[in-house]
């Protein structure tokens, strides 16, 4: 079955620690996105990538980093500079950057908690 | 910047009744696309319905329909014959060619269907 997988489902971070959230898709989509979801704030864009080896900052990129070395993978690292990382993180993809009516396909999410 | 506003944080509806969720947006663009997404308790985001701004006819998907008022920049979602499985968070989203193909989301409306 084609889709987006995110792992782990739950992740715990200690103070000063970097952690990496995995996002993999087998849909052959070009564009991939990372969102942060907090109660009452909807989805806020952290980073997005429209093509391999290229990515752009979203509205809340500070304290996060990404890479896009392969088309199917778009990992997100939450660095120690992110002072309030507790949130639900969603990864998404679209078939092509220019297909504007195309919907985003979402992964099941990762819940990050700070110890 | 594009903004999407959902002014109803919570709503409830009796089973089999009809409910309308509101969404307004602010943009200076003429060509754009609008989406409604559903996030049930499982937190898996699912596309409900989408609309192209240049199409005057309102989109319909089974029990879900939209009332798109371009001049008023309004994009409400009507759910007919509400079912218990419709209980979820609903997010309105906006996408436009000149905003880097990003999706902009509202803060969501939590809908509860009462048996």
Q: Note whether B101 contacts A100, CB cutoff 8 Å.
A: yes
- How high is the pLDDT of residue A83? 86
Contact predicate A60/A46, CB 8 Å = yes
Dist CA B112 CA B13 (whole Å): 6
User: Of the candidates A115, A92, A52, which has an alpha carbon nearest to the alpha carbon of residue B103?
Assistant: A92
Question: Strand (E) positions, A52-103?
Answer: 54-57, 64-66, 76-78, 87-94
Contact predicate A112/A11, CB 8 Å = yes
Cis peptide before A8 (omega within 30 of 0): yes
Measured in angstroms, the CA of B84 and the nearest CA of chain A are apart by 21
CA torsion sign for A56, B34, B4, A107 is: negative
Residue B1 has pLDDT above 70, yes or no: no
* pLDDT tens digit sequence for A36-88: 999 888 899 999 998 999 999 999 999 999 999 999 999 999 998 888 999 99
Between residues 67 and 96 of chain A, which touch chain B (CB distance below 8 Å)?
A: 88, 90, 92, 94
Residue in chain A closest to B10 (alpha carbons) equals A40
Q: Note whether A108 contacts B97, CB cutoff 8 Å.
A: no
Contact predicate A64/A76, CB 8 Å = yes
- How high is the pLDDT of residue A81? 87
pLDDT confidence tier of residue A115, bands split at 50, 70 and 90: confident
Question: What distances in angstroms separate CA A1 from CA A93, A98, B38, one per listed residue?
Answer: 16, 25, 21
Dist CA A48 CA A26 (whole Å): 17
Q: Note whether B47 contacts A90, CB cutoff 8 Å.
A: no
* pLDDT tens digit sequence for B33-82: 999 999 999 999 999 999 999 888 999 999 999 999 999 999 999 999 99
Residue A1 has pLDDT above 70, yes or no: no
């Amino acid at each position: 079955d084609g889709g987006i997988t995110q792992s782990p489902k739950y992740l715990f971070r200690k103070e000063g620690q970097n952690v990496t959230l995995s996002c993999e898709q087998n849909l052959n989509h070009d564009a991939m996105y990372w969102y942060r979801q907090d109660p009452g704030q909807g989805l806020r864009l952290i980073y997005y990538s429209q093509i391999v080896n290229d990515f752009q900052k979203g509205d809340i990129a500070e304290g996060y980093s990404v890479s896009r070395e392969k088309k199917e993978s778009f990992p997100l690292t939450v660095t120690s500079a992110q002072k309030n990382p507790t949130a639900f993180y969603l990864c998404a993809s679209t078939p092509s950057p220019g297909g504007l009516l195309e919907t985003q396909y979402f992964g099941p999410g990762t819940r990050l908690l700070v110890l | 910047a594009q903004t999407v506003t959902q002014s109803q944080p919570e709503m409830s509806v009796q089973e089999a009744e009809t409910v309308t969720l509101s969404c307004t947006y602010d943009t200076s663009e003429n060509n754009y696309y609008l989406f409604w997404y559903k996030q049930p308790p499982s937190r898996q985001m699912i596309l409900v319905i989408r609309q192209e701004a240049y199409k005057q006819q309102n989109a319909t998907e089974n029990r879900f329909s939209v009332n798109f008022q371009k001049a008023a920049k309004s994009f409400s979602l009507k759910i007919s014959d509400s079912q218990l499985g419709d209980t979820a968070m609903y997010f309105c989203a906006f996408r436009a060619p000149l905003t880097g193909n990003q999706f902009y989301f509202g803060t969501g409306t939590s809908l509860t269907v009462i048996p």
